[in-house]
Amino acid sequence: MLGLALAAAAPAINPAAASAAIDDIQAGIDGGSDAPKGPDYLECVPYARQISGIRIFGDAHTWWQQARGRYATGHTPRVGAVMAMEPYANSELGHVATVSKVVDSRTILVSHSNWSPINGRRGQIEKNVTVLDVSTQNDWSEVRVWYAPIHNLGTTHWPVSGFIYNARPGSVQDVGSARLDAIAAADESPAPSPPPAKKKGRRSDPIGDIIAGTYRR
């Protein structure tokens, strides 16, 4: 899987140190870190709203409840859906990220803002970074998220409420993670070849048949 391949390719990191680094920065997600806010600082909520088209406002931890009755929701990642993460550890306001690709039943890519500090600055955008499902039931209720400063997935298991789809309630089937591999494989498979063209029959040519001695009245 892509997430595991990325982790394998990264330099070895002490899990305890990685966990501590993640927990330290979570104090700064949506407020409270020593990392500075630059002029390009962007919270996770307006960026998720911008790229998903889902018109929900308010802190990230309120999105899941706000979506009920307004948008389709489920536990299957889909491209364009917003992953709603619950408050956990020092992240008091939760987090939202938009799915940019479904890799397989355990791995997706997301685009989000204000997760990793980039060049020591908070509120930065990250595009197409890995999120790995680590739930026991493969239901995306717990995930590990790519963390730029360590060039690897963080060790913390972040709780996820589910995915919010930019569609009317009840209009999206929550297919379940068991079918994600098949869906991803179908997206990657080449388009079927067109059927061979039918051969055209020989046009009637009585004069030619007479010459050839095969004409029948």
Q: DSSP assignment of 158-170, as one string?
A: EEEEEEEESS-TT
Handedness of CA 140, 2, 24, 18 (dihedral sign): positive
User: Which pLDDT score, from 0 to 100, does residue 4 have?
Assistant: 43
Question: What is the predicted pLDDT for the residue at 30?
Answer: 38
C-alpha dihedral over 6, 41, 45, 157, to 10 degrees?
40
pLDDT digits (tens, 9 = 90+) for 125-137: 999 999 999 999 9
pLDDT value of position 173: 84
Beta strand pairing call for 95-104 and 82-85: antiparallel
Consecutive 10-residue averages of pLDDT for the chain (217 residues): 43 38 38 56 97 98 97 98 95 96 98 95 97 97 97 96 96 71 58 60 58 56
Q: Does domain 2-188 have CATH number 3.90.1720.10?
A: yes
Confirm whether pTM is higher than 0.85.
no
Q: What are phi and psi of 4, to 5 degrees?
A: -70, -35
pLDDT at 156: 96
pLDDT of residue 108: 98
pLDDT at 183: 53
- Looking at residue 11, its pLDDT comes to 40
State residue 144's pLDDT score.
Answer: 98
CB-based burial label for 83 (10 Å; 0-12, 13-18, 19+): buried
